[in-house]
Structure formats: structure tokens, C-alpha cells
Amino acid sequence: MQKTSRLMKSLFFGLFVLAVLVAGTAFGPQPTSASLSDTDSLAELLERLGDTPLPHRPDFSLPGVSAERGREIVLRGITGKPKGGRIGKQSKHFECTACHNVEREDPDLARVDPRGRLAYVVERGLPYLPGTTLYGVVNRTSYYNGDYEKKYGELVKPARNDLREAIQLCAVECSQGRRLKDWELESVLAYLWTLELRLSDLRLSPEEKATVQRALEGQADRAAAVALLKSRYLQGAPATFGTPPEDRRLGYQAEGAVRSGDPDTGRLLYEHSCLHCHENQRYAFFNLDDSALSFRFLEKHLGDYSRYNLYQVVRYGTQPLPGKRAYMPNYTLEKLPDDMVEDLRAYIELRAGKWTASQ
């Protein structure tokens, strides 16, 4: 009997160990032999490598949620209701695309390079905007970073690591509109997921792709593969607020920190940034165009402290006013560093007849 009892215990112990091993195999990350493709979803690829799933997948169980409705809200601020009719416009003043592109806008997703970004968007006929592109926003994990806490205070805290709250903060504060209803918010998320990063966006070398492939097959360190992929794009857009030069008439050049302005670069900024909002008062009450009158007006205010001063509005933006809720957001140093502001100034002075190549 004792031998039988010991035998049964050994058998049960062996079965228990086998069950643990099977469970570990069933629930842990599984090796796969599927070949990598440039169109692979980055988020899904990271999950296959054992990374924590992103927390902002859309909830399609809510009636009316769809990526198409989300696209209409982002691009036009309005869409159809689930039971018919149209929703009230999310904002009377802006659409999301007033400040955000929905296409890729950086040649290297892992670097902050405003000049490279400008060249990239100009080549593709896109505007150069103060907000970070919505392309790949679902792959980021932090929002309203850095100095945006100075601007929005406590409102940033729930939005810093929560894309849903970040969208709502943008809807109310940035666009001067209303909060999105639950089904609207989930629809916007559904659309943003159509703009997620793909493997091709990271521009891995063949050797790096092979490393990731081996990790998927269980033949290389998965954590290292995750780290490699995440090193190729920013997890959040840094934001540093600048200040105007001490002497606005002399500009940043007088402080010895930047070179003289380049009017050719300034022209690109004026055409792809300033005119995006101000031409025909698209998103602004202040109209700008390509006429000498516009440039003479801007040049006249280069030395003052008004809302028409280049340095004032670039660094501080403007504030919403009663009856005029449309405003200009400030540009961070990551989007428009001091030397690029001088480029814009050089173009303004050139078109106003006040700039010479010797400056």
C-alpha cells in the first residue's frame, strides 16, 4: 500500500509539473515562424514580442462607433448620428487639422528635427503646424509633455498618459469646443488606429529585421527586440516653451545665439505655416496673404509688444477673446527654434523691402 501511495504521489506530481509547463506555454508569448512584412502593425508586432498591449483600443461595442465617423469628426468636426441626423459641430472655431496633420511629417521618427520636418512636409505639400501629427499617435504613450503643464496646469495630469483624456483636453481647451460623447470619442480612436505606425515606418536595416524575426521565432531576446523597435520612434513629443528676444527690434541675432535669417526658409514657413491659418481667415480673424501690404504690416510690428508682433505670437500665442474664441497657439522650440523664427523674419523683411543679403 505504501509503495502504491508513493507511486500515486509521484504520478500526481509529474502530472502537476506537466500541467504547469503546458499552461506556461499556452499563456506566454509564443514563437512564430511568420515572416515580417513592411505592412505589419507595429502595435501588434510588439504584442507578439511580449510587450504590454496599448490601453486605448476603441470600444466597438458602443452603438455608432466607426472609423469613418471618427475620420469625419477629425477632418470636419461633424458626422452622422447613429440613429440619423447630424451631430452638433464639435468646435465652431477649429478642426483637428488646424493644428495637426494626419500624415507622417518627420523623416526620422526618433529625432526632433524641425528643419528636416519642414523639408519633409514641403516636399509632400503638407502644412507645417504647431501640433504633432496624428499619424502614429496611438503608438505613443505620453501626451501634453514638458511645458504644456505650464499652459494647462492640472488639466494635463489625467491626459499625460491617457489618449482618451488627451483627446478630450484637446477638444475642449485647444479647439475651444465641447467634450466628445462616448461613441464619438471611440470613433475618433477607431480612426486614429487607421493611422498607426507600420514596420516600414521604422526603416529598419535588413540585419535589424532579421534580429526581430529571430526574436519572434524564439531564437533571440524578445525584450531586446522590443527595445530596438521602440528606439526608432518617440514615445511622446517633447515640448519646450521659448521666450521672445530681449530686444525685439534686433531679434535673436543680437543675443549671439543664432545666425542671420535665411529668407528662402522663411518663405517656406510663411507659405506652409502662417498662410495655413491666416489666408482668407481660414482659422483666424487676422488675414494674411502674399501681398506687400501683409509683409509691410508685419514688419512694422517687429519691434513692439502687440499681438501682431512675430516674436510675441510665436512664443506666447494669443488668447481666446469673448466672441472671438479662435486663437493662435504658441510654437514650441521643438517645432520652431529661434533660428527658424529669424528665417521667417528675414522673409518678412525681404518682402517688405527692408532686408538685404548683408544682414
For 86-146, the DSSP string reads BPPPS-SS--GGGT--SS---SSTTS--HHHHHHHHHHTT----SSPPSTTGGG----S-T
DSSP state of 51: P
pLDDT of 325 reads: 75
Domain 252-351's class?
mainly alpha
67 within 8 A of 190, measured Cβ to Cβ: yes
Residue 29 has pLDDT above 60, yes or no: no
The residues near 136 (Cβ < 8 Å, ≥ 6 apart) are 104, 109, 195, 196, 197, 201, 233
Higher pLDDT, 77 or 3: 77
- 208 pLDDT band, cuts 50/70/90, is very high
pLDDT of 93 reads: 92
The Cα 211–Cα 186 span in angstroms is 36
Region 95-103: what's the mean pLDDT?
A: 96
Region 256-282: what's the mean pLDDT?
A: 91
Region 129-157: what's the mean pLDDT?
A: 97
pLDDT of 212 reads: 98
Higher pLDDT, 3 or 309: 309
**Domains in the chain: boundaries:** 37-239, 252-351
Q: How many CA atoms lie within 13 A of 145 on its CB side?
A: 15
Q: How far is CA 276 from the centre of its chain?
A: 18
DSSP state of 158: H
Residue 241 has pLDDT above 60, yes or no: yes
Region 96-109: what's the mean pLDDT?
A: 97
% of the chain residues with pLDDT over 70 = 89
Sign of the four-CA dihedral 343, 349, 353, 358: negative
pLDDT of 33 reads: 54
pLDDT of 216 reads: 97
Residue among 345, 344, 275 nearest 303 (CA)? 345
Higher pLDDT, 177 or 9: 177
Provide the 10 A C-beta neighbour count for residue 310: 20
Residue 20 has pLDDT above 80, yes or no: no
Residue type, 98: A
**Which cell is 232 given?**
526608432
Give the predicted TM-score (pTM) of the model.
0.88
131 within 8 A of 329, measured Cβ to Cβ: yes
pLDDT of 17 reads: 40
pLDDT of 322 reads: 76
Higher pLDDT, 246 or 3: 246
pLDDT of 257 reads: 64
pLDDT of 344 reads: 97
pLDDT of 343 reads: 96
352 within 8 A of 292, measured Cβ to Cβ: yes
Average pLDDT, the chain: 90
- 30 pLDDT band, cuts 50/70/90, is low
Residue 337 has pLDDT above 70, yes or no: yes
**Which cell is 172 given?**
475642449
Q: CB-based burial of residue 275 (10 Å sphere; 0-12 exposed, 13-18 middle, 19+ buried)? A: middle
Residue 288: what are its φ and ψ, rounded to 5°? Answer: -130, 150
pLDDT of 200 reads: 97
pLDDT of 74 reads: 98
